[in-house]
A and B are shown apart, each in its own frame.
Chain A
Amino acid sequence: MSTAVKLDTSDNISNQDKKVLLNNPFENFKIENYKYAQLHKNITSDVSLEYHEIDLSSISSLKKLKLTDAVDIDLLSDLNKWNYNNTDSFFRVNSISERSSIKIDLDFFEEEVLYLDLSLFKENIQLNKVNELQKTLIINNSNFSDHIPRSIILNLSENSNLNIIHYCISNSKSFLYFEINQQNNSKLKFITFQSNNIHTRNEFFSSLEENCSLDLYGLNIHNHGVNDNYSFIQHMKPSSQSREVFKSIVDNGAVTNFQGKIYVDSVAQKTDGYQMSRSLILDNDSKANNKPELEIYADDVKCSHGSTVSKLNQDQVYYFKSRGIEEEQALKILQKAFLVETLEAIKNSQIKEYSYNLLEMRL
């Protein structure tokens, strides 16, 4: 497949970025951070993806974000300044070179739930949150067929508080770069729900200042093709906490990847980092690759990671059946049980219920 990048000689792109572009994962499959994403291949599937409609009519206080809600357009120069060691992301550079950008201030709206439907925007999006008041942001990233990556930048100011649920469903191609900048005492819960996709990659680059908390939960079920999650969580100042849990159920001959790094800077003492990636493989054709990494330069931290790949426990299925429960139902209950930890993290009860229903439909 040809690359998404058509690099012009625009002065807006720094030399450093140019260097990154030379390492293009669309051309070179050996680049470590993109090794399993198979971007150099045009991943297709025989299945025709049904259009996924997100119906949020059950959510009472909802604001749909539109282009006219943007406070600023074309922040290319701004985006180039956000440069804290994350040149590892080809997507970031690529999206900046290909798309214009807009800025939305999340505190501007009174509604408790904000809805960002990415199909309404062609731009990269910068989202800012200043207020302590808790809000939930729904990011709908469904039905895409777009090989040019896009960037979503989240800036959480001091003491701010945000919950995000990202629905990534029925995409034949979708490549996203999330950049999360958390200033002192900010809190973020981020849940990504991924299903029925053919070729996706979601990157989560996060930077934490002092006394922050980040919960990043991933649910990945019944995809086709190659589905890839990459996270890079940087603890840059003391006393922050990050908790990351990714759960995948893989079948249909699909490949699911999780690669996650926790980086703890030498000044980031009292960091509490946790990372867990677990995959359940339902058939003999499917694959799961998990690669947890820790890079720690401080000496007073708590960091742990774990990773499992397994099949469904047939003894558990037998136990259900021995109590009269049909196999099909037993399998659904056990798959749901494997995943629910991720949905339990959702704070808003209406969105939680909606997500549970969505999971039931996708089981």
Chain B
Amino acid sequence: MLKIDNLHVSIEGKKIIKGLSLTINKGEVHALMGPNGSGKSTLSYVLSGKEGYEIDEGTIEYNGKNLLDLDVDERANSGLFLAFQYPMEIPGVQTSFFLKTAINSKRKFLGLPEVDALEFAKLIRSHAEDLGISSEMLKRDLNVNYSGGEKKKQEILQMSILKPDMAILDETDSGLDIDALRIVSEGVNKLRSEKNSFLVITHYQRLLNYIKPDFVHIIADGRIVKSGDFSLALELEEKGYEDLSKIAS
């Protein structure tokens, strides 16, 4: 589904990702762990297509297509979703309007008619209830005056209704209390199937107790330095990142 090969990325001349390769197949959940500044968020932005990142070398293939040829919205409509670490606040745009516009954009891309108002209301209600998002909240401006936890739930709500093939969660667990962490994880697990893949970026093993990954990768200094299964996350929790930096250098 997603094949990253020898990726090198720099921002304003500064090299951030230095030869990263990673393959994620259909139905797999991969966790990416690593210290601050190791290139985790840069990787997520590069995958979603944010401007300002220079691809110096390497390829990214997504469902047989060259991902780097696609614009941000085309990537999204092709089934790629990034749950942001810091979701943007959009004053003046009602949350439910934003959700509807996003759904209709995908439907337009797929050649389908706009979503029926009643159908939309049902869809939102069922997913919002699961995540503990009230209908009053859907009427508020998107992410404006939301708490950190509410913003993360909103990201998961968007993911749930857009049903991406490949979802990247960028530190979705940061700033969440235990209850929110459980609710958000349930949202992810609900979408999990043989057809969907996930790349879960996190600092802590805690999230991985809820979202059990098939593979765990450690990133340090812009490269994956170690890959393994869930036990690697446990090892990391115990020993910290310091040992791993040694491997990287």
Contact = CB atoms under 8 A, between A and B. Distances in A.
Contacts of B71: 321, 327
Contacts of A337: 90-93
B6 interface: no
A325 B73 contact: yes
B105 A323 contact: yes
Interface in A312-331: 313-316, 318-319, 321-327, 329
Contacts of A324: 73, 76-77, 102, 105-106, 109, 162
* Most B CB within 10 A of own CB, among A319, A321, A324, A336: A324
Given A318-B51, A321-B71, A326 B90 contact: no
B101 interface: yes
Contacts of B88: 313, 315-316, 318-319
A323 B162 contact: yes
For chain A, give the interface size range. Answer: 20 to 34
Interface in B38-76: 48-51, 71-73, 76
A67 interface: no
A325 B102 contact: yes
A336 B97 CA distance: 13
A99 B15 CA distance: 70
B75 to A, nearest CB: 8
Contacts of B72: 318, 321-322
B73 A338 contact: no
Q: Would you call the interface of chain A mostly helix, strand, loop, or mixed?
A: helix
Interface residues of B, number: 26
Nearest to A330: B73
B92 to A, nearest CB: 3
* Most A CB within 10 A of own CB, among B102, B105, B106: B105
B156 interface: no
B45 to A, nearest CB: 9
A341 interface: yes
B84 A319 contact: yes
Contacts of A321: 49, 71-73, 76
A340 interface: yes
A333 interface: yes
A319 B143 CA distance: 12
Interface in A297-350: 313-316, 318-319, 321-327, 329, 333-334, 336-338, 340-341
B92 A326 contact: no
Interface string B161-199: 010000000000000000000000000000000000000
B73 A327 contact: yes
B158 interface: yes
B87 interface: yes
Contact of B105 (A315, A316, A325): A325
Nearest to B103: A324
* Most B CB within 10 A of own CB, among A323, A325, A334, A341: A323
B201 interface: no
Nearest to A326: B73
Contacts of A340: 92
A195 to B, nearest CB: 18
B167 to A, nearest CB: 12
A351 B93 CA distance: 21
Interface of A: 313-316, 318-319, 321-327, 329, 333-334, 336-338, 340-341
14 contacts: A316-B88, A321-B49, A321-B71, A321-B73, A322-B49, A323-B98, A323-B162, A324-B76, A325-B101, A327-B73, A329-B105, A334-B90, A337-B92, A337-B93
Interface of B: 48-51, 71-73, 76-77, 81-82, 84, 87-88, 90-93, 98, 101-102, 105-106, 109, 158, 162
Given A323-B102, A324-B102, 10 more contacts: A321-B73, A322-B50, A322-B73, A323-B105, A323-B158, A324-B76, A324-B105, A329-B101, A334-B90, A341-B92
